Amino acid sequence: MRIIDVHNHFYPPAYLDALKRGESSVTVKYDAEGNPEIHYPGDYNVAVPGHRDIAYRASVLEKEGVDTQIITLTTPGTHVETPAVAAHLAAITNDDFARIVQERSPRFASLATLPLNDPVASVKELRRAVEELKFPGAMLFSNVNGIALADERYWPLYEYANDKELVLHIHPTFPSGVEAMADYWLMPLVGFLMDTTLAAGKLVFSGVAERYPKIKWVLSHLGGAVPYLVERFDRGYKAFPECRANIRQLPSEYLKHWYYDTVNFNPKAIELAIDFAGVDHIMAGSDYPHAIGSIPLMKEALGALNISEADRAKIFGGNAAKLYKL
């Protein structure tokens, strides 16, 4: 059974080197084991070998039986920089990703990183990543320094993505209301999931999903709370004129056509998402190599689903192979 992991993260060498040289607002420290700690407002990531050593990572995938990973940059993203630095870091990240894919395909594929705090530069970099580097799309963060993805400044980006029928995978970042999440790691445990849900809701209710129907939207972490709350979205559509102003169908009619990665290792939660969006819209994800991610738990959860083996094969890799044209 082919396994394609669509949600995982890598810091490419050129990006890390730029951070270490101080070409960024991000601070790099080191832990007791010598791993870089990437500090940014409100959080930090420890870049363990799996985050930064592609040969080590490939050996892990070989051991775990993962055929392909769609690698992406993770938080903080380039949008925390000045626009010029963001564009530079996005470009060198994408070049490094393209080199890894060229050297190690089919073990790795990639989505583009964009300088989202500069919408014009984002269109330019997405065009380069798709037309020159041959990426199938990009990863977007759930908000851009507090600006919603549904904001009209991003519509030219979506127009291009729609014309090319690209994948846009939404990943959470520093959420709204983060001041209430300062302890117990509540930002990634709760805030990330809610920010993804908020981003999805705004993209639908604003009319973006209707205006650009050919974009292949992917939501991280099983869509945050989308499969659980979508019935409430539909009730809002029926109850409030504002929720009907920009769309002609129930929110669920748009969201059930989106894709959901399985970075939620509760089989019952995954089955809820399957009931909502259909088995063809669920794809394996591990969040490797973050401390909260796990390839073994991903495999265990998918193995426990009460579905046919044919459907299990779709979730493990078949759906992603079709979506990313692997």
Task: For 66-106, write each residue's pLDDT tens digit.
Answer: 999 999 999 999 999 999 999 999 999 999 999 999 999 99
- CATH number of the domain at 196, please: 3.20.20.140
Encode pLDDT of 238-286 as tens digits.
999 999 999 999 999 999 999 999 999 999 999 999 999 999 999 999 9
Which pLDDT value is given to residue 179? 86
Question: Residues 193-222: what's their mean pLDDT?
Answer: 98
Domains: count for the chain: 1
Q: In what order do the strands lie in the sheet with 68-72?
A: 4-9, 68-72, 108-110
Which pLDDT value is given to residue 311? 98
**Residue 44: strand, helix, or coil:** strand
CB atoms within 10 A of CB 253: 15
Encode pLDDT of 134-185 as tens digits.
999 999 999 999 999 999 999 999 999 999 999 999 999 989 888 898 899 8
Question: Across all residues in the chain, what is the average pLDDT?
Answer: 96
Which pLDDT value is given to residue 176? 82
Q: Is 50 exposed, middle or buried (0-12, 13-18, 19+ CB in 10 A)?
A: buried
Structural domain for 96, as ranges: 4-323
